Amino acid sequence: MIFSFDAFVTNALFDRSGRAAFALGDGTVRFQTEDGFVTVEAHGGPMGGAVLSAAVHPSGLGIVTGGDDGKVVWSRIEGGDVVATVIAELKNKWIEHVATSAASGLIAFTAGKDVHVRDVADAKFERVFPHERTVSGLAFEPKGRRLATAAYGGAYLWYARIADQKPTALKWAGSHIGVTFSPDGKFLISSMQDNQLHGWRLSDSKDMRMGGYPSKIKSVAFFDKGNLLTTAGASGAVIWPFAGANGPMGKEAAEIGFNRDSMIVRVAGIDQHPVCVSAQDNGRIWIAHLRNGRIETLKTERGAPISALATSADGKWMAWGDESGEAGVIEIPDISGPREFAG
Protein backbone atom coordinates (compact mmCIF):
# COMPACT_ATOMS: atom_id res chain seq x y z
CA MET A 1 0.00 0.00 0.00
CA ILE A 2 1.45 3.35 -1.10
CA PHE A 3 0.51 6.82 0.21
CA SER A 4 1.25 10.35 -0.99
CA PHE A 5 1.07 12.76 1.94
CA ASP A 6 2.78 15.82 0.43
CA ALA A 7 4.71 16.47 3.66
CA PHE A 8 8.03 15.31 5.11
CA VAL A 9 7.56 11.99 6.92
CA THR A 10 9.11 12.48 10.36
CA ASN A 11 8.37 9.02 11.78
CA ALA A 12 6.79 5.73 10.77
CA LEU A 13 5.61 3.46 13.59
CA PHE A 14 3.47 0.42 14.31
CA ASP A 15 1.30 0.44 17.43
CA ARG A 16 0.48 -2.70 19.42
CA SER A 17 -2.43 -3.59 17.14
CA GLY A 18 -0.07 -3.67 14.16
CA ARG A 19 -1.56 -0.50 12.68
CA ALA A 20 0.95 1.70 10.84
CA ALA A 21 1.08 5.38 11.76
CA PHE A 22 2.94 8.20 10.03
CA ALA A 23 3.89 11.48 11.74
CA LEU A 24 4.33 14.32 9.27
CA GLY A 25 5.98 17.68 8.89
CA ASP A 26 2.60 19.34 8.35
CA GLY A 27 1.57 18.57 11.94
CA THR A 28 -0.71 15.65 11.14
CA VAL A 29 -0.67 11.98 12.05
CA ARG A 30 -1.95 9.52 9.45
CA PHE A 31 -3.16 6.06 10.46
CA GLN A 32 -3.35 3.20 7.98
CA THR A 33 -6.82 1.72 7.47
CA GLU A 34 -8.25 -0.95 5.19
CA ASP A 35 -9.42 1.78 2.82
CA GLY A 36 -6.28 3.91 2.92
CA PHE A 37 -5.65 6.23 5.85
CA VAL A 38 -7.34 8.62 8.29
CA THR A 39 -5.90 11.95 9.41
CA VAL A 40 -5.44 13.37 12.91
CA GLU A 41 -4.77 17.12 13.13
CA ALA A 42 -2.30 16.78 15.99
CA HIS A 43 -0.13 19.89 15.66
CA GLY A 44 -1.07 21.68 12.47
CA GLY A 45 -4.03 23.90 13.27
CA PRO A 46 -4.67 27.27 11.62
CA MET A 47 -1.12 28.49 12.37
CA GLY A 48 0.57 25.45 10.86
CA GLY A 49 3.21 23.40 12.66
CA ALA A 50 5.27 20.25 12.35
CA VAL A 51 5.69 16.95 14.13
CA LEU A 52 9.30 16.78 15.32
CA SER A 53 9.25 13.43 17.16
CA ALA A 54 7.02 10.44 17.83
CA ALA A 55 6.80 7.23 19.83
CA VAL A 56 4.18 4.55 20.45
CA HIS A 57 1.96 5.38 23.45
CA PRO A 58 2.77 3.29 26.58
CA SER A 59 -0.64 1.62 26.30
CA GLY A 60 0.23 0.46 22.79
CA LEU A 61 -2.77 2.37 21.40
CA GLY A 62 -1.76 5.08 18.93
CA ILE A 63 1.27 7.35 19.10
CA VAL A 64 2.59 10.29 21.11
CA THR A 65 4.04 13.19 19.14
CA GLY A 66 5.99 16.33 19.96
CA GLY A 67 5.67 19.42 17.80
CA ASP A 68 7.15 22.84 17.16
CA ASP A 69 3.96 24.25 18.69
CA GLY A 70 5.11 23.14 22.15
CA LYS A 71 2.49 20.40 22.42
CA VAL A 72 2.75 16.72 23.28
CA VAL A 73 -0.25 14.94 21.75
CA TRP A 74 -1.64 11.41 21.97
CA SER A 75 -3.27 10.48 18.64
CA ARG A 76 -5.27 7.27 18.19
CA ILE A 77 -8.26 5.50 16.70
CA GLU A 78 -10.56 4.55 19.55
CA GLY A 79 -13.96 2.92 19.11
CA GLY A 80 -13.94 3.87 15.46
CA ASP A 81 -13.30 7.55 16.24
CA VAL A 82 -10.16 9.58 15.60
CA VAL A 83 -8.97 11.12 18.88
CA ALA A 84 -6.23 13.61 19.75
CA THR A 85 -5.49 14.39 23.41
CA VAL A 86 -3.03 17.09 24.49
CA ILE A 87 -0.80 15.60 27.19
CA ALA A 88 1.31 18.71 27.76
CA GLU A 89 1.81 22.17 26.32
CA LEU A 90 4.87 24.38 26.80
CA LYS A 91 4.50 27.76 25.14
CA ASN A 92 7.29 29.00 22.88
CA LYS A 93 9.10 25.65 23.06
CA TRP A 94 9.90 22.93 20.56
CA ILE A 95 9.33 19.32 21.62
CA GLU A 96 12.17 17.77 19.65
CA HIS A 97 12.37 14.33 21.30
CA VAL A 98 9.77 11.98 22.75
CA ALA A 99 10.32 8.61 24.46
CA THR A 100 7.77 6.25 26.01
CA SER A 101 7.85 3.11 28.15
CA ALA A 102 5.20 0.41 28.12
CA ALA A 103 6.91 -1.18 31.14
CA SER A 104 6.56 1.86 33.42
CA GLY A 105 3.72 3.76 31.72
CA LEU A 106 5.87 6.89 31.45
CA ILE A 107 6.21 9.50 28.73
CA ALA A 108 9.32 11.70 28.49
CA PHE A 109 9.94 14.64 26.20
CA THR A 110 12.54 17.36 25.75
CA ALA A 111 12.14 21.13 25.63
CA GLY A 112 15.47 22.85 25.19
CA LYS A 113 17.67 22.05 28.20
CA ASP A 114 14.89 20.33 30.16
CA VAL A 115 13.45 16.82 30.11
CA HIS A 116 9.86 16.41 31.30
CA VAL A 117 8.32 13.13 32.47
CA ARG A 118 4.60 12.32 32.74
CA ASP A 119 2.72 9.23 33.94
CA VAL A 120 -0.26 8.06 31.89
CA ALA A 121 -1.87 6.64 35.06
CA ASP A 122 -1.50 9.85 37.12
CA ALA A 123 -2.38 13.19 35.55
CA LYS A 124 -0.73 15.06 38.44
CA PHE A 125 2.65 13.34 38.11
CA GLU A 126 5.39 15.51 36.64
CA ARG A 127 9.17 15.51 36.81
CA VAL A 128 11.56 18.00 35.23
CA PHE A 129 15.26 17.18 34.80
CA PRO A 130 17.40 20.25 33.93
CA HIS A 131 20.62 20.05 31.91
CA GLU A 132 23.40 22.55 31.36
CA ARG A 133 23.10 22.18 27.59
CA THR A 134 20.37 21.39 25.10
CA VAL A 135 19.16 17.80 25.27
CA SER A 136 19.53 16.14 21.88
CA GLY A 137 18.58 12.52 22.58
CA LEU A 138 16.27 10.56 24.86
CA ALA A 139 15.59 6.88 25.62
CA PHE A 140 14.06 4.69 28.34
CA GLU A 141 15.84 1.57 29.54
CA PRO A 142 13.89 -1.66 28.80
CA LYS A 143 12.39 -1.79 32.33
CA GLY A 144 11.33 1.86 32.08
CA ARG A 145 12.83 2.91 35.41
CA ARG A 146 15.80 4.88 34.10
CA LEU A 147 16.00 7.48 31.39
CA ALA A 148 19.07 8.29 29.30
CA THR A 149 19.65 11.71 27.80
CA ALA A 150 22.24 12.93 25.30
CA ALA A 151 23.89 16.34 25.31
CA TYR A 152 27.20 17.96 24.56
CA GLY A 153 29.93 16.17 26.50
CA GLY A 154 28.23 12.83 27.05
CA ALA A 155 25.11 11.04 28.24
CA TYR A 156 23.22 11.14 31.54
CA LEU A 157 21.21 8.52 33.42
CA TRP A 158 18.19 9.58 35.48
CA TYR A 159 15.74 7.63 37.61
CA ALA A 160 12.56 8.63 35.83
CA ARG A 161 10.29 8.90 38.89
CA ILE A 162 12.69 10.54 41.37
CA ALA A 163 12.69 14.32 41.83
CA ASP A 164 15.69 16.47 42.81
CA GLN A 165 18.41 14.02 41.88
CA LYS A 166 21.91 14.22 40.49
CA PRO A 167 22.22 12.07 37.35
CA THR A 168 24.96 9.58 36.60
CA ALA A 169 27.20 11.25 34.01
CA LEU A 170 28.78 9.18 31.25
CA LYS A 171 31.32 11.62 29.88
CA TRP A 172 32.85 11.65 26.43
CA ALA A 173 34.04 14.76 24.58
CA GLY A 174 31.92 15.91 21.67
CA SER A 175 28.30 16.48 20.73
CA HIS A 176 26.01 13.50 21.38
CA ILE A 177 22.81 13.56 19.31
CA GLY A 178 21.01 10.33 20.20
CA VAL A 179 20.96 7.47 22.73
CA THR A 180 19.79 3.85 22.62
CA PHE A 181 19.78 1.11 25.28
CA SER A 182 20.55 -2.47 24.31
CA PRO A 183 17.47 -4.69 24.83
CA ASP A 184 19.07 -6.34 27.88
CA GLY A 185 19.81 -2.95 29.43
CA LYS A 186 23.54 -3.68 29.76
CA PHE A 187 24.83 -1.14 27.23
CA LEU A 188 24.08 2.44 26.23
CA ILE A 189 24.95 3.59 22.71
CA SER A 190 25.25 7.23 21.70
CA SER A 191 25.25 8.67 18.18
CA MET A 192 27.62 11.60 17.79
CA GLN A 193 27.78 14.67 15.60
CA ASP A 194 31.24 13.76 14.33
CA ASN A 195 30.28 10.57 12.45
CA GLN A 196 30.79 7.96 15.14
CA LEU A 197 29.07 5.97 17.85
CA HIS A 198 30.19 5.81 21.44
CA GLY A 199 29.11 3.18 23.92
CA TRP A 200 29.24 2.41 27.62
CA ARG A 201 28.93 -0.87 29.47
CA LEU A 202 26.68 0.26 32.31
CA SER A 203 27.95 -2.21 34.91
CA ASP A 204 31.30 -0.40 35.10
CA SER A 205 30.91 2.61 32.72
CA LYS A 206 33.66 1.21 30.49
CA ASP A 207 33.88 3.04 27.16
CA MET A 208 33.45 1.60 23.70
CA ARG A 209 34.69 3.51 20.66
CA MET A 210 32.67 2.64 17.57
CA GLY A 211 33.98 4.83 14.76
CA GLY A 212 34.98 4.74 11.10
CA TYR A 213 31.75 6.12 9.62
CA PRO A 214 31.84 8.43 6.58
CA SER A 215 28.67 10.32 7.55
CA LYS A 216 26.38 11.13 10.47
CA ILE A 217 24.56 8.14 11.98
CA LYS A 218 20.87 9.05 11.85
CA SER A 219 19.47 5.66 12.77
CA VAL A 220 20.36 2.53 14.78
CA ALA A 221 18.37 -0.61 15.60
CA PHE A 222 18.93 -3.77 17.62
CA PHE A 223 17.70 -7.10 16.24
CA ASP A 224 18.23 -10.88 16.54
CA LYS A 225 17.08 -10.88 20.20
CA GLY A 226 19.52 -8.06 20.96
CA ASN A 227 22.57 -9.93 19.68
CA LEU A 228 23.17 -7.55 16.77
CA LEU A 229 23.04 -3.80 16.17
CA THR A 230 22.58 -2.33 12.70
CA THR A 231 23.37 1.30 11.94
CA ALA A 232 23.10 3.83 9.15
CA GLY A 233 25.91 6.23 8.25
CA ALA A 234 27.81 4.28 5.59
CA SER A 235 27.41 2.94 2.06
CA GLY A 236 26.26 -0.36 3.54
CA ALA A 237 24.57 -1.36 6.77
CA VAL A 238 27.14 -1.52 9.58
CA ILE A 239 26.57 -4.48 11.93
CA TRP A 240 27.99 -4.65 15.45
CA PRO A 241 27.95 -7.85 17.57
CA PHE A 242 26.40 -7.54 21.05
CA ALA A 243 26.23 -11.15 22.24
CA GLY A 244 28.01 -11.91 25.52
CA ALA A 245 29.04 -9.81 28.49
CA ASN A 246 31.42 -7.58 26.55
CA GLY A 247 29.23 -6.72 23.58
CA PRO A 248 31.30 -5.25 20.74
CA MET A 249 34.38 -4.61 22.92
CA GLY A 250 37.45 -5.87 21.10
CA LYS A 251 35.40 -6.86 18.04
CA GLU A 252 35.12 -5.44 14.55
CA ALA A 253 31.95 -4.34 12.79
CA ALA A 254 30.86 -5.82 9.47
CA GLU A 255 29.42 -3.87 6.55
CA ILE A 256 26.81 -5.52 4.31
CA GLY A 257 25.00 -4.41 1.18
CA PHE A 258 27.74 -1.95 0.19
CA ASN A 259 26.76 0.40 -2.64
CA ARG A 260 29.23 3.12 -3.58
CA ASP A 261 26.47 5.23 -5.20
CA SER A 262 24.30 5.71 -2.08
CA MET A 263 24.29 5.95 1.71
CA ILE A 264 22.22 4.11 4.28
CA VAL A 265 20.13 6.71 6.12
CA ARG A 266 17.58 4.63 8.07
CA VAL A 267 17.66 1.11 9.54
CA ALA A 268 15.26 -1.22 11.36
CA GLY A 269 15.40 -4.79 12.62
CA ILE A 270 13.24 -7.81 13.35
CA ASP A 271 13.51 -8.58 17.05
CA GLN A 272 13.26 -12.37 16.91
CA HIS A 273 15.34 -13.02 13.79
CA PRO A 274 18.78 -12.14 12.37
CA VAL A 275 17.09 -9.89 9.82
CA CYS A 276 17.63 -6.16 9.33
CA VAL A 277 16.14 -3.59 6.97
CA SER A 278 18.18 -0.79 5.39
CA ALA A 279 16.94 2.32 3.57
CA GLN A 280 19.04 4.45 1.27
CA ASP A 281 19.25 8.12 0.39
CA ASN A 282 18.10 7.25 -3.14
CA GLY A 283 14.77 5.87 -1.93
CA ARG A 284 15.58 2.16 -2.18
CA ILE A 285 15.05 -0.30 0.70
CA TRP A 286 16.45 -3.81 1.15
CA ILE A 287 16.38 -6.60 3.71
CA ALA A 288 19.24 -8.88 4.78
CA HIS A 289 19.50 -12.17 6.66
CA LEU A 290 22.71 -12.25 8.70
CA ARG A 291 22.98 -16.06 8.90
CA ASN A 292 22.53 -17.13 5.28
CA GLY A 293 23.76 -13.89 3.69
CA ARG A 294 20.60 -13.45 1.64
CA ILE A 295 19.69 -9.89 0.59
CA GLU A 296 16.41 -8.96 -1.10
CA THR A 297 15.21 -5.57 -2.35
CA LEU A 298 11.83 -4.52 -0.95
CA LYS A 299 11.52 -1.13 -2.64
CA THR A 300 13.27 -0.88 -5.98
CA GLU A 301 11.99 2.51 -7.09
CA ARG A 302 14.33 5.44 -6.68
CA GLY A 303 13.02 8.53 -4.94
CA ALA A 304 13.69 11.02 -2.19
CA PRO A 305 15.85 9.97 0.76
CA ILE A 306 14.04 7.68 3.19
CA SER A 307 13.33 9.62 6.40
CA ALA A 308 11.35 7.04 8.42
CA LEU A 309 11.48 3.26 8.73
CA ALA A 310 9.87 0.71 11.08
CA THR A 311 8.97 -2.96 11.32
CA SER A 312 5.94 -4.44 13.05
CA ALA A 313 6.40 -6.38 16.29
CA ASP A 314 5.71 -9.69 14.55
CA GLY A 315 8.28 -8.91 11.85
CA LYS A 316 5.76 -9.30 9.02
CA TRP A 317 5.39 -5.70 7.87
CA MET A 318 7.55 -2.69 7.14
CA ALA A 319 6.47 0.95 7.03
CA TRP A 320 8.53 3.64 5.33
CA GLY A 321 8.33 7.32 4.50
CA ASP A 322 10.54 9.76 2.65
CA GLU A 323 11.43 13.43 2.60
CA SER A 324 8.99 14.22 -0.22
CA GLY A 325 5.94 12.77 1.57
CA GLU A 326 5.75 9.42 -0.16
CA ALA A 327 5.14 6.49 2.20
CA GLY A 328 4.10 2.87 2.21
CA VAL A 329 3.51 -0.38 4.03
CA ILE A 330 5.16 -3.51 2.59
CA GLU A 331 4.89 -7.15 3.61
CA ILE A 332 8.30 -8.54 4.59
CA PRO A 333 9.10 -11.83 2.83
CA ASP A 334 10.56 -14.84 4.61
CA ILE A 335 14.23 -14.99 3.58
CA SER A 336 15.32 -17.58 6.13
CA GLY A 337 15.89 -20.19 3.41
CA PRO A 338 18.53 -20.21 0.66
CA ARG A 339 18.11 -17.99 -2.35
CA GLU A 340 16.21 -19.70 -5.19
CA PHE A 341 17.64 -19.46 -8.68
CA ALA A 342 15.65 -19.85 -11.86
CA GLY A 343 16.84 -22.74 -13.98
- Tens-place pLDDT, residues 2-17: 999 999 999 999 999 9
Asked whether residue 342 is assigned to any structural domain, the reply reads no
Asked whether residue 161 is assigned to any structural domain, the reply reads no
Burial of 185 per CB tally in 10 Å (0-12, 13-18, 19+) = middle
In whole angstroms, what is the distance from residue 231 CA to residue 213 CA?
10
Give the CA dihedral 306, 55, 267, 312, nearest 10 degrees.
-100
Q: What is the pTM of this model?
A: 0.94
Q: What is the pLDDT of residues 53-80, one digit of tens each?
A: 999 999 999 999 999 999 999 999 988 8
Among 42-51, 101-110, 115-124, 240-249, the minimum mean pLDDT is found in 42-51
Among 40-44, 253-257, 323-327, the minimum mean pLDDT is found in 40-44
* 305-338: burial string, b at 16+ Cβ within 10 Å, e else: bbbbbbbbbebebbbbbbbbbbbbbbebeebeee
CATH code, domain carrying 326:
2.130.10.10
DSSP per position, 35-104: TEEEEEESS-STT---EEEEEE-TTSSSEEEEETTSEEEEEEEETTEEEEEEEEE-TT-----EEEETTT
77-83 contacts, C-beta under 8 A, 24 or more apart: 77/19, 77/31, 77/38, 82/31, 82/38, 82/39, 82/40, 83/40
CA distances from 97 to 25, 129, 179 (A): 14, 14, 11
Asked whether residue 226 is assigned to any structural domain, the reply reads yes
Q: Please tell me the predicted confidence (pLDDT) of residue 47.
A: 56
Asked whether residue 239 is assigned to any structural domain, the reply reads yes
Asked whether residue 190 is assigned to any structural domain, the reply reads no
Q: How many domains are contained in the chain? A: 1
Asked whether residue 291 is assigned to any structural domain, the reply reads yes
CA distances from 341 to 174, 257, 289, 338 (A): 49, 19, 17, 9
C-beta separation of 184 from 142 below 8 A: yes
Q: How many CB atoms lie within 10 A of CB 189?
A: 27
Asked whether residue 178 is assigned to any structural domain, the reply reads no
Asked whether residue 254 is assigned to any structural domain, the reply reads yes
Boundaries of domain holding 326:
213-332
